[in-house]
Amino acid sequence: MGSCPVIFKKVDQNVIRVMAGLVSAIAVIFIVSPQLWLLTLLLYDFLVRSLDYKKASPLFHIAKIIAKMLRLKKIEIDAGPKEFALKIGVVFVLISFIMFILGESMAAVLVIALLLVCAFLELTFNYCIGCQMYKLLKKLTKLFF
């Protein structure tokens, strides 16, 4: 049976979901009007959060403000699955950024569209694709090693 990574560090599930909404909004804007500054913003934000430096993340601060304004109850969950998903997000945004720089804007848009699907599922259904990928990788590792 697969399981999510557990690191015994807590995060607020509602803030994570609001951030997923912000990422979704930026992704939609990028898909409609591909601009390098949007990818740069996403790449910066994903990188600083993946390096556990949330204080430098504009999306984290905006999400906390929105969650407070909406009076969303704090729901603490283990950060492991969310950090794994965040690292996958870094890879998606980095690939899109590189493709855009190389003049492959359609490919960059397609990669961001995949990110949008993941973020939208997190936002609307609290469904973490990163956790599902982790379970699959764990099964494949057991199968082949």
CA triple 132-133-136, angle to 5 deg: 90
At 138 the pLDDT is: 79
Q: What's the confidence (pLDDT) of residue 94?
A: 98
Q: How far apart are CA 93 and CA 4, in angstroms?
A: 23
Helix (H) or strand (E) holding 11: strand 10-12
Q: What is the pLDDT of residue 1?
A: 40
Measured CA to CA in angstroms, residue 1 lies from 13, 21, 126, 142, 144 at distances of 24, 30, 21, 11, 16
What's residue 5's pLDDT? 65
For residue 38, the model assigns a pLDDT of: 98
Nearest to 117 by CA among 89, 143, 82: 89
pTM of the model: 0.89
Query: CB–CB of 134/82 below 8 Å?
Result: no
Q: Where are the beta strands (DSSP E) in 19-78?
A: 76-78
Residue ranges, the chain, pLDDT below 70: 1-5
Cβ-contact 133, 88 below 8 angstroms: yes
What pLDDT is stored for residue 137 in this prediction?
A: 81
